[in-house]
Structure formats: C-alpha cells, structure tokens
A and B are shown apart, each in its own frame.
Chain A
Amino acid sequence: MAHMLPLIPAFPLIGFLIVGLFGKNLPKTVTGGIASLAVLASFVVSVLVFGEISSTHHAVESQMFTWLKAGDWNIGFSLMADQLSGWMMLIVTGIGFLIHVYSVGYMHDDEGFHKFFAYLNLFVFSMLLLIMGSNFLILFFGWEGVGLCSYLLIGFWYDNAEYGKAARKAFIMNRVGDLGLLLGIFLMFTQFGSVNFSDVFQPELVASKDPGVITAICLLLFVGAMGKSAQIPLYTWLPDAMAGPTPVSALIHAATMVTAGIYMVVRSNVLYSASPDAMAVVAGVGLATSLFAAVIGLRQNDIKKVLAYSTVSQLGLMFLALGMGAYATAMFHVTTHAFFKALLFLGSGAVIHALHGEQDIRNMGGLRKMLPFTYAIMLIGTLAISGFPLLSGFFSKDEILEQVYLNGGTLLWGISLISALITVTYMSRMLFVAFHGEFRGTHEQAHHLHKPGLSMAVPLGILAVLSVFGGLLNTPHFLHLPSPQWMAEWLKPVLDHAHGAADAHGGGHHDSGLALQLMAVATVLSLAVMGGCWWIYSQKKHLPVSDAAQEGFTKVVAGKFYVDELYDWLFVRPTEYLSRFLHDVYDRLVVDGLVNGLGKGVVALSGQLRKLQTGNIETYLLGMVLGASALLAVLYML
C-alpha cells in the first residue's frame, strides 16, 4: 500500500499541469472534468489507504527520494499516512472533489475557467503534501504552497484593485505567521537535531529537554498556526479573503487550508502536552478570537463576511479545545465544520449566483419561496453550526464546551457558551434577513432568479447529508448511539502518548449526568436565541440599518472594531513612511549617488586617458619600440 501513497498528491499535480498548460485550448467540460477527476482519483486512493490503516492500525510510510543532503545530515522526501493524516486526506480530497464539481457550474461563465481549476488542483496538491509530509520541512513546503494558492485565488479577479490588495494582505499576514513557524522549526532542529516527526515526537526525549525551550518551540509553531488559521492578532486577512470566488472561500478559507494550523498543533501534540504554558496561550488566543470574531459577525451585512467571521470564530473554538488538550475533539470539530461551513459557503454561492453577484443581505429577503432548495441548504447549514440537536455541529460544539467545562472551569465555559450563542445569533440573523420577509432586490434580479444547476446542486446535497449526519462520527457515550466516540478511538494511536490530555473520556469514566446537563443548557439557550432571532428578523421584519445610519457601538462593531485601521496606523503607514524615507534619502542620495558618481568618475578619467590616443602612427610606433627596448633592458639587467 505504501507504494500508492505518492499517487495521492501526484494526481492533483498532474491535473494541475494538464489544466494549467493546455486548459486554455480545451473545452470547459474537459478542463473541469480533468481537474475534478484528478481529485476524485486522489480520494479513491485515500479511501484505500484509509482502509489499510484501519485494518492494520499502522501508519503507512513511503520514502520517495533524498530531498536535501548536507554532510551526514539529510532530509528525505517521504510521505506518511497515519490515523490523523489519513483522516485529513479524506476531508481534503473528499470535500475538495465536491467543491471542484460545484465550481464547474459556478465558474462556468468565467474567462479564467481553466486557470481557476489549475489553481484549485495545485492547492489540493499542496494541502496533501502539508498533511502527508513525514517531517516539518515537507509540512512547511505544503504550508507555503497552500499560502501561494490562497493568494492566487483571492486575487483571482485581479483587475479589481481591491481584490488584489486583499490577496496581498493575506499573503503578507501569512508570511508573518510563517516566520514564526520557520523559527520554531529551526529551534526544534537545534534541540532535536532532526525535523522528522518520528525523531521529535518522543515523549521521553521531549521530557528530557528544558521545558522553557519546548514552550518556546510550541509558541513559535503556534504563531504559524495563528497566521494560517486566522487567530488574533493575525486574523484580519480571512474576512478580506472573501474577495475570491465563493468555491475558494468554501474550500480554502473555510474547510481545509485554515484548519492546517489545527492539524499542525494536533500533529505536535507531544510537544504541546509537555508545555502547559503554551497550551494556556493556545486556549486563551482561541477563546479571545472566538468571542471577538463572533461579536464582529453580529453586524456584518455581506453574506460572505458573516460566514468569514463565523469561520474565524469557529477556528477559535477549535484552538480552545486544543488548549484544553482535547485534540480529538478539535479534529472532530474540524471535520463537522468542514462539512457545514463548506455547505454554507457553497449555499451562499448559490444565492450570489442566483442574484448575479449581490452579496448584501439587506438587498435580499424573501428568497425562501423563490429558492426553496437553496433555502433548505442554508437552513441545514445554519442549524448545524448553531448546534441544533442531533445535527453535526451539535455534537462537536457540545463536546468542546464539555471539555472546556471539565478542564477550564465554569468561567471559560461561560465565555465559550456566550461565543456559541452569538454564533447562533448572527447565523440566524443572516438566514432570516436573507430568506424571510419580502424580496428587497431589484425587479431585474427577481426576474432572473434561478435555481442552482445540477453540478452545483449535487455537491450541496451531499454536503447537506454530511452536515446532518457528520456528528455521528463521535457521539458521546451517554446517548447510546452506535459506535460512540469513534473518532476519539480512531485518533488514539496518534494521541496516545499525549499524557495528561483530556481525551480520556474514551473510557467513559466521566460524569454522564453532568455532560447531559451541560448539553441541555447549551441546547435550550441556543434554541431560545434562535427563536428570538426568528421573532425579531422574521416576524417583526427588523432590518439591519444602512451603513450611514449606524451609530455608537453598532458602528464600532460594524467597523470590525477598527482593527484594520489600527494595523494600518501601526504597521502599514510606518512601513510606507520608512520606505518613502529610504527611497528619498538612502536610495536617491546614497545608492544613486554612488552609482552615478562611479559612472561620472569613469567618464572623466577616460576623457583624460583618451588623449593618449593621438591617431598618429609614428607616436604609436615610437611607443612600441621604446616599450620593447625597455622590456629588453629590464630582462637584460635581471
């Protein structure tokens, strides 16, 4: 089975090459078909590998070639699929395939059709390298690759200057995080002499190192995760990343790439478990991000921006779970979130597609009757993310809350519950404002409203089913559903050595009564909040005010707490001033002066030297003879 491992990233790479090089001259059906089939092939092989892992309980590893060699130290380009990366492979290729199919319909009228699919395939390739690499260097390679694809796809419609800026913002912010990741890897190398997962993640070895250094490594790695997974303070790029086409938002900026940070932390769980301080930082940043982004989400009126802030908030929840040591719970939420957030984004794409590019929910309304299928999709997605009983988000979010209660205490539990309730609020608000009430768009839009085509509808349907039933992957014991805690069991071999981790409830020794109470409280409150939103936005037909009418705190929230402005003032402007200063002073005066001065000096000197060239042959001859005589004289005297 190991020999099939390289095929998984190879298929999308081949797809990328074919579509990228020849896609321009191929019909759109062929281009989209090749790109989708490449990912489907990866998915099939991933399923086979997954089956292999689940029957043998051993990681599959494939050494491909020596990548770097310096002295007796070398880094192999080797891929690995264990329980964790096997699971991620299924998510990336599975959801990736659905989104490819969806994009065939969504992007059908776009000029850059083939370019889009080439980028998507390149993304899937990079993401697979990220999760399948068996050392930090390959992980970093994939990490940079997905960053590049994210940049390319955010700026996909690059003739819009704003979109180009959003792409650059995402890229630069990610660079800040990547620097942290890189420094973490360097520090790890100085400590362990290796960046291979198998060499570093040895609990006894980690325990023998200075705890301060381990904490430093964890925090540096976490800086990388902050950038990629959009945590405070590096989260502002993600909402702007919605400039890209909607399938990109679904695939890259919700379902897969942004969970790379979570994956990396789970992968490094041996290190994190050895450093309670780093865990506390992870939990703190996660909780703060979760709450902060949720509050901002309350006052966003762009349907994709709402979803973007919701993504940031949900990622925060996942990091909170990681900080509690509940790695399997975090991976469970990664999975369900991938289902319902991809569904929500693709659903919002169907809305935007139907309304010809309208994204402001204030200009929608009443779509429930006009787009019943899309409404059903968005309803399922909203219910799932809100934790409606028995849908996927219900189980995963509830498990996070339970873990927070058990490991973090009542206060943290309270804050994260508030964050979850705010999530319910803004999601319901978006749903009710956009789909209930009267249609507020133009007559033109109402006339052209259309259902999503088949290639868009089928992936939506599949994702809807996954969003409904995804929670069954990791049901709690006390509900007595079949195969409880399947996912925790599945990931156990990867996490087993994480001593002191909170994923111990696989044994079922915790208090079911307490868990049930927590679940009941969270569910009742969520339903109450959802009902309240229904009352306000659907029955009373309350509408979000226009931008101009916002005042006070509402305005601050709608302005995203002016964090962008703060960053602009703190970092962007000083950099620009410094650049301008360096340009005017250093570049103009020093560098230009040096270069021009050198040129002028040479001209002046040669002006003198050229006087030697008299053009008089006799002078030359005389010089030649005198020179030869002098040479002879010197030779004679020596």
Chain B
Amino acid sequence: MLPLQHPELINQYILLSALLFCIGALGVLIRRNAIVVLMCIELMLNAVNLLFAAFSSFLGNADGQIFVFFIMVVAAAEAAVGLAILVMVYRNTRSVDISFLDKLKG
C-alpha cells in the first residue's frame, strides 16, 4: 500500500465524506419513498467507507480497508433484507410510501 501522495488532502476527504453523509442523512429524513430512503442509507454507509479508505491510506494501515469490506458485506445483506421487506410492503399496501407505515401508533 502506497502512502497517500498528498497527505494534506486528508482534510478534503473528510469534508467530502461529511458532505456525502449529510446528504444521505437528509435524504433519509425528508424523502418518503422507501427505496430512496434505502439508497440514502447506502450513501451514508459509503461516506463512511470513503473516510475509512482515506484514513487507511493516510496512516499506512490496512485495518480501515478491512472494515470497509465488512461494511460492504453488511450493507449488501441489509439492502437485500430491506428490499425484500419493501416488496412485501408493496404487495400489501400497493405503495412504498413510508408515511403509511404507522400501524405501531401507540
């Protein structure tokens, strides 16, 4: 693993990751389409992945990249389960709008 060519660029990576994460979080909060919400969650995860990769390179340590693989595996599983749930939700409600899912109201 080569060290990062320009160590001073780590700040840009952090900013980019934070930006991506915030976009994802914002999407999760304001979008009602469940598929878009899932995609936004992926975006948040990948923002973190990017940060892991950047720091891994910056510190010359491969641990961060190992974590990235783990997160990818979990994200894939999560997407599979999430989409399966959505399919069932759609079959029952003919909609993927999450604001209809309020059966647990106290």
A residues with CB within 8 A of B: 610-618, 621-622, 625
Residues on B with C-beta less than 8 A from A625 are: 25, 28-29
Are B102 and A616 neighbours in the complex by a CB distance under 8 Å?
Answer: yes
- Report the separation of the CA atoms of residues A625 and B99 in the bound assembly, to the nearest whole angstrom: 18
- Report the separation of the CA atoms of residues A615 and B28 in the bound assembly, to the nearest whole angstrom: 16
Chain B interface extent, by class: 10 to 19
What 4 A-B pairs have minimum CB-CB distances, sorted nearest first?
A615-B105, A613-B106, A615-B102, A610-B106
- Report the separation of the CA atoms of residues A618 and B37 in the bound assembly, to the nearest whole angstrom: 10
Closest to B104 in A: A615
Residues on B with C-beta less than 8 A from A612 are: 106
Closest chain-A Cβ to B18's Cβ sits at a distance in Å of 12
- Report the separation of the CA atoms of residues A617 and B98 in the bound assembly, to the nearest whole angstrom: 7
Closest to A620 in B: B104
- Report the separation of the CA atoms of residues A612 and B28 in the bound assembly, to the nearest whole angstrom: 20
- Report the separation of the CA atoms of residues A465 and B18 in the bound assembly, to the nearest whole angstrom: 110
Q: Please classify the interface of chain A as helix (H, G, I), strand (E, B), loop, or mixed, using the class held by over half of its residues.
A: helix
Are B106 and A615 neighbours in the complex by a CB distance under 8 Å?
Answer: yes
- Report the separation of the CA atoms of residues A182 and B29 in the bound assembly, to the nearest whole angstrom: 74
The verdict on A618 contacting B104 (CB below 8 Å), with A625-B25, A625-B29 known, is no
Closest to A607 in B: B106
Are A618 and B103 neighbours in the complex by a CB distance under 8 Å?
Answer: no
Kindly state whether residue B83 has any CB partner on chain A within 8 Å.
Answer: no
Are A618 and B106 neighbours in the complex by a CB distance under 8 Å?
Answer: no
Closest chain-A Cβ to B24's Cβ sits at a distance in Å of 11
Are A615 and B25 neighbours in the complex by a CB distance under 8 Å?
Answer: no
Residues on B with C-beta less than 8 A from A622 are: 29
Are A611 and B99 neighbours in the complex by a CB distance under 8 Å?
Answer: no
Kindly state whether residue B80 has any CB partner on chain A within 8 Å.
Answer: no
Closest to A611 in B: B106
- Report the separation of the CA atoms of residues A622 and B32 in the bound assembly, to the nearest whole angstrom: 13
Are A617 and B99 neighbours in the complex by a CB distance under 8 Å?
Answer: yes
Contacts A615-B102, A618-B98 aside, 15 further interface pairs with beta carbons under 8 A come to: A610-B106, A611-B106, A613-B106, A614-B102, A614-B105, A615-B101, A615-B104, A616-B105, A617-B98, A617-B99, A617-B102, A618-B99, A621-B28, A625-B28, A625-B29
- Report the separation of the CA atoms of residues A618 and B103 in the bound assembly, to the nearest whole angstrom: 14
- Report the separation of the CA atoms of residues A612 and B98 in the bound assembly, to the nearest whole angstrom: 18
Residues on A with C-beta less than 8 A from B106 are: 610-615
Closest chain-A Cβ to B94's Cβ sits at a distance in Å of 18
Closest chain-B Cβ to A618's Cβ sits at a distance in Å of 7
* Partner among B25, B29, B105 whose Cβ is within 8 Å of the Cβ of A618: B29
Residues on B with C-beta less than 8 A from A618 are: 29, 32, 98-99
* Partner among B25, B32, B98, B104 whose Cβ is within 8 Å of the Cβ of A613: B104
Residues on A with C-beta less than 8 A from B102 are: 614-617
Closest to B32 in A: A618
Closest chain-B Cβ to A451's Cβ sits at a distance in Å of 83
- Report the separation of the CA atoms of residues A616 and B99 in the bound assembly, to the nearest whole angstrom: 6
* Partner among A611, A615, A621 whose Cβ is within 8 Å of the Cβ of B103: A615
Bitwise, B83-106 to A at CB < 8 A (1) or not (0) is: 000000000000000110111111
A-B contact pairs, 14 of them (CB 8 A): A614-B105, A614-B106, A615-B101, A615-B104, A615-B105, A615-B106, A616-B105, A617-B98, A617-B101, A617-B102, A618-B29, A618-B98, A618-B99, A625-B28
